Amino acid sequence: MRAFVTGGTGFIGGRMVERLLDDGWDVSALVRSPERAARIRDRGATLVLGDVTEPETFEDAVKGADALFHLAAYYALGVSDRELMMRINVGGTEAILRAAGAPVPRKGRGDSSVPQGLRTRGVTSREMDVLRLVGRGLTNADIAKNLFLSRRTVETHIASLLRKLDAQTRAQLMKEANTES
């Protein structure tokens, strides 16, 4: 039986990997740093280099596992970086669950409030999420990663924004985003 473990370089995940190996499991461990993972590798774990915020790095390994232990977390006292914490702890957990085939609803509504000027032009909250990231110069691939959407969905939102804002180019969208923020 194969277990897939996240957080194997951490306090709890490290103990979990060792316990699973002691109990006879084959263990694949998602790790960001092979150096930090030397201990569990030497104990017999197979390392999967990746990150919980990058689904393409672990999807195949999760599919090949019989059990999943998700122990990776951005775990610190006091929230020092809320966005990072949300990306790793919430987005990362959702991505891991999706890779395991669990139904995880996507928040279709979006998180951004839409400024009045754009709301009257029909821009939705999710489109505003996308527009803000366009304004920060992110590529579609990075926007997809950031919002846990498919690239196709991001492209659809961009096409819709171009139409609603009467824009021809991404540069015009960037300008709109930066005018509004």
Residues that bind ligand NAP (CB under 6 A): 6-7, 9-13, 30, 32-33, 36, 51-53, 71-75, 88, 92
- HEC readout, the chain: CEEEEECCCCHHHHHHHHHHHHCCCEEEEEECCCCCCHHHHHHCCEEEECCCCCHHHCHHHHHCCCEEEECCCCCCCCCCCHHHHHHHHHHHHHHHHHHCCCCCCCCCCCCCCCCHHHHCCCCCHHHHHHHHHHHCCCCHHHHHHHHCCCHHHHHHHHHHHHHHCCCCCHHHHHHHHHHHC
Minimum CB distance to ligand NAP smaller for 51 or for 94: 51
Minimum CB distance to ligand NAP smaller for 86 or for 174: 86
Q: Residue 43 CB, nearest distance to ligand NAP (Å)?
A: 15
Minimum CB distance to ligand NAP smaller for 75 or for 163: 75
Q: Residue 126 CB, nearest distance to ligand NAP (Å)?
A: 24
Q: Residue 179 CB, nearest distance to ligand NAP (Å)?
A: 33
